[in-house]
Structure 1
Amino acid sequence: MASIIDIKLPKAIANALRIPPNTAKRQQQRVLKKLLKKARFTEFGQKYHFDEALMDKNIGKKFQQLVPVHDYNKIYEEWWKKTLDGVPDVTWPGKIKYYALSSGTSEAASKYIPITKELLRSNTINYVRQLFSVFGYEEANKKAFTKGFLMLGGATDLQKGEAGWYAGDLSGILAKKRPFWFQTFYKPGGRIAAMKDWNQKLNEIVEHARDWDIGYIVGVPAWCQMCMEMIIEHYKVKNIHEIWPNFGVFVHGGVSFGPYKKGFEKLLGKPIVYVENYLSSEGFIGYKMREHAKGMQLVLNNNIFFEFVPFDDKNFDADGVIVKNPEALMIHEVEEGKEYALLMSTNAGTWRYLIGDTIKFVDLERHEVAITGRTKHFLSLVGEHLSVDNMNMAIQLASEHFNISIPEFTVVGHPYENFFAHTWYVATNDTVHADDLRQYIDKKLRELNDDYATERDSALKEVFLEVLTEDKFLKFMELKGKLGSQHKFPRVMKGKMLEEWNRYLQTGSI
């Protein structure tokens, strides 16, 4: 079990054996050394002299000097594109058998993110670690762990490429490659999990809901909420616990849970435990390890080497594009409360890779972080520096204040009367006056963000807000071909998607 749970020696014994302390810096150095050793004979490792970094006493700094920062477009065009033709040993040893199709929230074309057997193994270890951590939660219903695990994910029926690889949603790949010992607990089962039609999959889950005893649900909040609403409506019950009395744990990730919490809790008959995880197509980054933790703890000892780029004007331009040689800090160099963009190097052949998320450390000693947004999803038309974190908090406070469910929203910045304005589009099926909601959100953002408050009295002249039904948002995602568990509605609309959104609001099509 030592590979799954870290065994810590008592300090006195460690000192007697002269074992160096297992610090975050040391864990990350070991991870980097292991990754570089494994990949040194790949094309990438040869070009960027991994052997040279391995021989240097300061391996981290040398690695940063030798290897440039990559975003998806750069690493795909220069490296990953070859692997789709079956070329082995490009950025990681061997051929790539699986690709996670990821479009994020703004890109039109699908991204092909390599998924290696080593990465799948690392993810499995972290899933088990996360499960064990929840056993320690005092408020957790222990019965939940012996019941069914409902995983609302992408289709396990993957598309096959000419070179013999398979591609699909990461959740579909993970479900297809689930460990044999998990089969007994896994729901909705192989047949339903393979379905590509999201509506058909949801309807099948609803039909079988009474046959299952679900204790543990894993998925993106919006789609899990929709599924439970459908079940409650179908069986004419008051709450989900009348169908699944042992439901006790909800594991979520991908988006901030704050805006969903009010609507989610309306569906429950008794309290449950919420566990946030940080799982991206590129790797399992962290999870909430303690019951009352402020954030998610980064996994520093399982094949991901992290770097942190201060999210400021020095390292990113006005559109959120990273500069050529940004300042990149390692785990022992970061500060609490500051916002960073995340770079990752992993056992799937991503190297100094910008995943697009911004985070801040909320507990530096425990290396716990909160996701604050995306490098390209923020509003700063006139210096208001409005982050997705600010938006999520304002929506959460508004939903609690007005006692309404707001499962989705998006914000647009635009010129207005020689100055600028923000327009909010908010999804709710509950009754609320749009102007009351607008004034409340504006007021809370002024309290949350000093820059916003300053600009609201100068160049940011107005805030508009339009209340739409939840179906309006879902229909747009359906027209975009993004209906399903892996797709998230963008919190900030820009570029081509904004054009499509405006056209959709006017004509009903994109």
Structure 2
Amino acid sequence: MAIISTLLKKGIRLRESLEQEYSSPIDLQKQQLKKLLLKAERTEIGKKYDFHGILNTFRLGNEEFYERYKDQVPIYDYDSIHAEFWQKLQEGKKNITWPGAVKYFALSSGTSGATSKYIPITKDMVKAIRRTGVRQILSLSKYDLPDSLFSKGILMLGGSTDLDFNGTYFSGDLSGITASKLPIWLQRFYKPGKKIARNRNWGDKLDQIVKKAKDWDIGIIVGVPAWLQLLMEKIITHYGVKDIHEIWPNLQIFVHGGVSFEPYRKGFE
């Protein structure tokens, strides 16, 4: 394992050194917008708002592309874009807002309007999420971390990977959709494992993780702060310890997203 962890760390450093550093956010965003418009110009939404015409303005070398895009493409809320476009995706139609059909829909928590909103998750989006996750790991090369950390378990606390299927598409939590498509090399380190990850009963899932926690050597935890705080409190209470490091002494990294960490900082500390 020492050899594996050393190779992983060196590989991460090498790969990160090959990542191009960018200093101009506007250039990055311009490049990304151009890629998206090129990809979607032959879709229904691309034809309606003349993505091809917007792309022609990129050759002018100024901010014309932005003004043209802003003038031609309106701002949608969920209800309007679902009614006009995304509902067709749920019916199995292709090339509506992105090339091809959409087989996965993430269910939002539903803060307004419908109790739960269906967000289309394309293959390209899953690839982008995976790529971002890899880049997060690559960023570890910027920190002075021991080689041994790179052979520790990675606990990813999310929704069930047991998705619903209605004959046309799969639906479930975004974290469940992405966790069901982890890269093969990451599965070696992934916890809580496929069996527990499939559990749809949230309380039962937490109890299963608590029971297995003492058997895992976790170095990285990933998830929404509220969920992870609840889990760690349950582990601490169950084993009668002072803090989580008595169970996972090698825990050093916490990766989160979706919400601000500040409201949870004191509890975590």
CA contact (8 A) 1:5 1:129 kept: no
> Which residue of the partner structure matches residue 246 of structure 1?
250
> Which residue of the partner structure matches residue 10 of structure 2?
none
> Which residue of the partner structure matches residue 84 of structure 1?
90
> Which residue of the partner structure matches residue 156 of structure 2?
151
Cα offsets for 1:68-125 (capped at 9, x unmatched): 1111111111100010000000000000011111024445421111111111111111
Please report the TM-score for the alignment, with normalisation by the length of structure 2. Answer: 0.87
Deviation at 1:128, TM superposition (A): 1.2
> Which residue of the partner structure matches residue 17 of structure 1?
none
Structure with higher helix content: 2
Name the CA distance, whole Å, in 2 between partners of 1:214 and 1:245: 8
> Which residue of the partner structure matches residue 96 of structure 1?
102
2:185 to 169, 181, 187: 181
Q: Report matched runs for 1:334-483 at 5 Å.
A: none
Unaligned runs of 5+ in 1: 9-20, 266-510
| Matched residue SS, 2:52 | helix
**1:205 maps to 2:206:** no
Cα offsets for 1:136-193 (capped at 9, x unmatched): 124x565333200000100000011232x11110100110011111110000000100
Q: Report matched runs for 1:34-183 at 5 Å.
A: 34-56=35-57, 57=60, 58-138=64-144, 140=145, 143-163=148-168, 165-183=169-187
Name the CA distance, whole Å, in 2 between partners of 1:220 and 1:98: 21
Shift of the 142–225 alpha-carbon distance from structure 1 to 2, 3 Å rule, reads farther
Letter in 2 for 1:61: E
> Which residue of the partner structure matches residue 20 of structure 2?
7
Cα offsets for 1:318-359 (capped at 9, x unmatched): xxxxxxxxxxxxxxxxxxxxxxxxxxxxxxxxxxxxxxxxxx
**1:225 maps to 2:229:** yes
Structure with higher strand content: 1
> Which residue of the partner structure matches residue 195 of structure 1?
199
Cα offsets for 1:442-486 (capped at 9, x unmatched): xxxxxxxxxxxxxxxxxxxxxxxxxxxxxxxxxxxxxxxxxxxxx
Aligned residues: 251
| Matched residue SS, 1:114 | strand
| Matched residue SS, 1:211 | coil
4+ residue runs of structure 1 moved beyond 6 angstroms?
1-4
RMSD value over aligned CA atoms? 2.0
Unaligned runs of 5+ in 2: 1-13
Please report the TM-score for the alignment, with normalisation by the length of structure 1. Answer: 0.47
CA contact (8 A) 1:220 1:252 kept: yes
Q: Report matched runs for 1:238-317 at 5 Å.
A: 238-265=242-269
Name the CA distance, whole Å, in 2 between partners of 1:93 and 1:65: 24
Q: Percent identity over the alignment? A: 51
Name the CA distance, whole Å, in 1 between partners of 2:131 and 2:16: 8
Shift of the 112–49 alpha-carbon distance from structure 1 to 2, 3 Å rule, reads same
| Matched residue SS, 1:150 | strand
> Which residue of the partner structure matches residue 6 of structure 2?
none
Name the CA distance, whole Å, in 2 between partners of 1:126 and 1:142: 22
